[in-house]
Chain A
Amino acid sequence: MTYEFLQHYWCFIVSLLGAILVFLLFVQGANSVARSLGYTEQGRRLVYNSTGRKWEFTFTTLVTFGGAFFASFPLFYSTSFGGAYWLWMIILFTFVLQAVSYEFQNKIGNFLGPKTFQFFLTLNGIVGPLLLGGAVATFFEGSNFIIAKDNLVDAGAITPIISRWANASHGLDALLNPWVLVLGFAVVFLARVLGILYVMNNVADEDIRSRGSVRLVGAAVPFLVLFVAYLVHLLLKDGFAYNAEGIIYMEPNKYLNNFLHMWYLLVVLLIGVVLVLFGIGKTIFSKGYNSGIWPAGIGTVLTVLALLLCSAWNNTAYYPSTADLQSSLTLANSCSSEFTLRTMFYVSLLVPFVLVYIIYAWRAIDKTKLTKQELQNDDHAY
């Protein structure tokens, strides 16, 4: 294994975690439409209890995504999290609210009332995907930071900080870029699509399933419009490339070139898009079909994986700086040492084992669909 291989391998692992995270945002998506999807108090309880059995997977994937990024590309971790402070803090803030909302909402002694926590779930369901989608968009659109490693040896500095944000908004400036918002809202509606598909599959309730089919159209149309708009923009825009000396420069149609050069990613992207469309279309047009979450979910993972890898492989700066082009982060200039990447490679061999027990446990819990009857008999129901 060469150092370069390990860099690309860890980029793949982090991208895969990111792609799985976007799929697992079905929890947020379902919560954001729980009021209309559930319609009655009992219906809403079904929705919250359905997502409540999976929220920890989303949460854990987010944490592991962060940990893996930290271990493999620490300069991204320090630059993005320390720089885009407000963007990440708002994301974290909404996830903290979500984490307690399930357990607390219907417990006796909750003096804030169940509606407060249901509002938190809705808030997280919209803001979480929006900002996470926006954060992903910055991989293509760029961010406002400067890196100067030699600050560490500046004797006159009050604090010898390496990575700095070039304006005082600390990440919120990304939301002024309309393309960041386009991808952010695309992820919001994608999460809704996946959330509706998941609930239709997981909850055995005809009212919810029939409402789900209608709500699915309302979420799928804006998602497709926004996603196609961003994809076209991405393929036509200039991208951030670097040469053999590590000098970063703008390359016309860089991301289109990447897909053409890495044809296998294009194939993955197309398969992913087709699967998502199939999952949505069959659920809408085929009465009684409630398994759309699986093709759409797998399609989401493949699509996001292809997009994330397109942002970093093939000599592409995956975290570009709009303030100083040469500060942009590439796999080579931001990764951990070869020793650490190699050590972590061996740790990553545990991932299939982890996936096996997750699938086993998930199937054990979901082998019978959630019903109103089960909620009445379950003393741990939310």
Chain B
Amino acid sequence: MNIKHNIMLENLLLNIDAGTIDWSRAQFALTAIYHWLFVPLTLGLAVIMGIVETNYYRTKDEFWKTAAKFWQKLFGINFAMGVATGIILEFEFGTNWSNYSWFVGDIFGAPLAVEGIVAFFMESTFVAVMYFGWQKVSPGFHLASTWLTGLGATISAWWILVANAWMQYPVGCEFNPDTMRNEMVSFAEVALSPFAISKFCHTVTSSWIIGAIFCVGVCCWYLLKKRHTKLAIESMKIGAGVGLVAALLAGATGHKSGMDVAQVQPMKLAAMEALYDGGTEQGLKLVEGIEVPYGLSIMATNDPKGYVPGINNLLNGYTTPDGKTEPSADEKIARGKKAIEALAAYRKAKAEGADEATITQHLTTINENMKYFGYGYVKDKADLVPPVWINFWAFRVMVGVGCLFILFFAAILAVTYRWPKFLFGKRDITTLPAWHYWLAILLIPLAYIGSECGWLVAEFGRQPWTIQDMLPTWASVSDLQSSSVIITFFIFLALFTTMLAVEINILLKQIKKGPEL
């Protein structure tokens, strides 16, 4: 293709319906939110059922086999929905974000392919052995299959989070003006990005919390009904143990994630804190008007005197106390436009066979301004501010729920092991007042809310970018009529909601039925 040919085509093109962008965002958000209802339970229950079956393998006690089969049955009911919603997410990068797929497919496609080859096949192969292999394979092979199912799911999480982390912090790539896309130059930088490592650790440990509270909640229901008491007590010990470790790790990795965000996505952090005018010694707001002194500076920089820019600072430009200057949004937009204009000139010069000096001059201009390329598509700097109230409250709910679960799991472990003894007297886990059990059961949806809020912060905080500073949503979308996306949005909404209702009902009935004795 040549430039002249492309220009001729332009009149046929560029009639995109602006509603397509918002509906495509809505559809992706819908799919991701639903997907994340099922994945964390898969990751969390995988650990619990692995430990339970390991106990069976070690003791040969049929009780543990019954318990393992019970948790695996609940795992299976949930697993199918995770798989179903996951396939939509992968293909939506192509169906709804085709420009994105070309612009960064050279980098972004690789983790998805590795995920398929390395993780999905492991998961799907061994999950079948786990379900149907009890009578067909040795106990050791079966146990290995159970752990490999969980490992496959976790490796899958690794690669998809590598891909997601790259969208938040694009590394290991260079723009190629001849192919008009970004190209990978270091797979190690992409696959082992510090942002990806923090994100993976935080996401997986928070998923273990979901698995743990689900396990504890189910056990509490049995204790409330005085059924399957042994299964409830033994499983609760495992669930609460996993939950406490996970909650503490989620807290630690969450802090590391916060520091990463402060470094590479300062606008997201400012939105999370509703911080309009930043500076040094910034306090962390618990809610509007109540703050922890120096808290935000410590969270962002590990230093009580650390500098944290606010939204206005980021829009208008600022200089940190150590002299580092960040340009204003207007300057970034101007430089982005310069990069785009230079790219157009470079393409034209090459197509027309211009001399080497002219081509090199355009190339130099592109390289000098490439850092702000994405800003060239921004028409109004106000578009650079993500929705503040969603980020502010979602962040607080996530952190609050996480802290609550540290206390909750510690309390469950204390009451399960009756330690310290003086506190419990003759009471044990089976003789608590009913509201204790109800509290644990009601905390299950709260854990999901906290987990979803984490993703709201991650994704709303990145807006308007699909890839931070590189490509905004309106330059990433596919050429579709909004009506098409609206129809598929509501089809998926109806489908996922119906299937979720079926799944919850089946899970409840299965729990009510209890293990096969």
Residues of A participating in the B interface, judged by any CB pair closer than 8 Å: 53-54, 56-57, 59-60, 62-64, 66-68, 70-72, 74-75, 77-83, 85-86, 88-89, 92-93, 95-97, 99-100, 102-104, 107-112, 146-166, 168, 170, 324, 326-327, 336-337, 339-340, 343-344, 347-348, 350-351, 354, 357-358, 361-362, 364-365, 367-368, 374, 377-380
Contacts and interface: CB of A to CB of B under 8 A. Distances in A.
B14 to A, nearest CB: 5
B83 A336 contact: no
Given A74-B106, A170-B484, A148 B1 contact: yes
Given A67-B109, A96-B84, A88 B101 contact: no
Contacts of A161: 13-14, 16, 98-99, 477-479
Contacts of A74: 101-102, 105-106, 109, 181
Given A103-B76, A150-B6, A361-B145, A63 B120 contact: yes
B479 A164 contact: yes
Interface in B446-496: 474-475, 477-481, 484, 488, 491, 495
Contacts of A54: 128
B94 A70 contact: yes
A97 B183 CA distance: 36
Contacts of A365: 128-129, 132-133, 136-137
B154 interface: no
B360 interface: no
28 contacts: A53-B128, A57-B125, A60-B121, A64-B117, A70-B93, A70-B113, A77-B109, A78-B101, A79-B102, A82-B95, A83-B478, A96-B88, A100-B502, A100-B503, A108-B510, A109-B508, A111-B505, A154-B344, A159-B16, A159-B475, A161-B477, A170-B484, A337-B176, A340-B184, A343-B184, A358-B121, A367-B136, A380-B76
Interface in B61-116: 69, 72-73, 76-77, 79-81, 83-88, 90-91, 93-103, 105-110, 112-116
B357 interface: no
Given A77-B101, A103-B79, 16 more contacts: A67-B113, A67-B117, A70-B94, A70-B101, A70-B113, A110-B506, A112-B502, A149-B180, A161-B14, A343-B187, A350-B117, A350-B118, A361-B126, A364-B141, A365-B128, A365-B129
Given A379-B69, A380-B76, A82 B479 contact: yes
A85 B479 CA distance: 10
Contact of B83 (A99, A150, A162, A347): A99
Contact of B110 (A71, A159, A168): A71
A208 to B, nearest CB: 19
Contact of B136 (A71, A152, A368): A368
B85 A96 contact: yes
Interface of B: 1, 3, 5-7, 9-10, 12-14, 16, 18, 21, 69, 72-73, 76-77, 79-81, 83-88, 90-91, 93-103, 105-110, 112-118, 120-129, 131-133, 135-137, 141, 145, 176, 179-181, 183-185, 187, 337, 340-341, 343-344, 347, 377, 474-475, 477-481, 484, 488, 491, 495, 498-499, 501-503, 505-510, 513, 516
Contact of B116 (A67, A95, A150, A357): A67
Nearest to A14: B113
Nearest to B96: A82
A150 B93 CA distance: 21
Nearest to A107: B506
Given A56-B124, A82-B98, A158-B16, A99 B80 contact: yes
A379 B66 CA distance: 11
Contacts of A374: 135
Nearest to A82: B98
State the majority secondary structure of interface residues on B: helix
A89 B509 CA distance: 33
Nearest to B498: A112
Nearest to A70: B109
Given A60-B124, A109-B508, A365-B128, A100 B84 contact: yes
B435 to A, nearest CB: 27
A336 B101 CA distance: 11
Nearest to A165: B479
A63 B125 CA distance: 14
Contact of A380 (B100, B131, B479): B131
Contact of B347 (A75, A96, A104, A150): A150
A111 B508 CA distance: 12
A168 B126 CA distance: 43
A104 B1 contact: no
Of the listed residues B87, B96, B118, the one surrounded by the most CB atoms of chain A closer than 10 A to its CB is B87
B80 A339 contact: no
B110 A344 contact: yes
Nearest to A164: B479
A64 B344 contact: no
B88 A92 contact: yes
Nearest to A336: B106
Given A158-B18, A339-B185, A365-B129, A108 B506 contact: yes
A93 B493 CA distance: 12
A158 B14 contact: yes
Nearest to B191: A343
A56 B91 CA distance: 17
Interface centre among A57, A74, A99, A380 (most CB of B within 10 A): A74
Nearest to A170: B484
B13 A146 contact: yes
Nearest to B483: A168
* Among A67, A108, A327, A362: residue with most chain B CB under 10 A: A67
A339 B502 CA distance: 46
Given A100-B80, A108-B513, A159-B16, A82 B120 contact: no
A347 B113 contact: yes
Contact of B112 (A71, A93, A96, A380): A71
Contact of B507 (A77, A109, A343, A358): A109
A111 to B, nearest CB: 6
Contacts of A86: 484
A160, A343, A364 — which one has the most chain B CB atoms within 10 A of its CB?
A: A160
Contact of B91 (A88, A147, A162): A88
B437 to A, nearest CB: 22
Contacts of A340: 106-107, 109-110, 183-184
A118 to B, nearest CB: 14
Contacts of B133: 364-365
Contacts of B117: 64, 67-68, 347-348, 350-351, 354
A44 to B, nearest CB: 18
Given A157-B14, A365-B133, A78 B187 contact: no
A150 B344 contact: yes
A364 B95 contact: no
A337 B80 contact: no
Contacts of B180: 149-150, 152, 162
B76 A68 contact: no
> Taking each of B90, B117, B341, which has the highest tally of chain A beta carbons within 10 Å of its own beta carbon?
B117
A103 B516 contact: no
Nearest to B473: A159
A162 B478 CA distance: 9
Top 3 A-B residue pairs of the complex, sorted by shortest distance between their CB atoms: A82-B98, A74-B105, A81-B94
A166 B69 contact: no
Contact of A110 (B83, B97, B505): B505
A149 to B, nearest CB: 4
Nearest to A337: B183
B503 A104 contact: yes
B345 to A, nearest CB: 9
B505 A158 contact: no
B3 A150 contact: yes
Contact of A56 (B73, B127, B347): B127
Contact of B95 (A88, A146, A350): A88
A56 B116 contact: no
A183 B95 CA distance: 24
Nearest to A362: B125
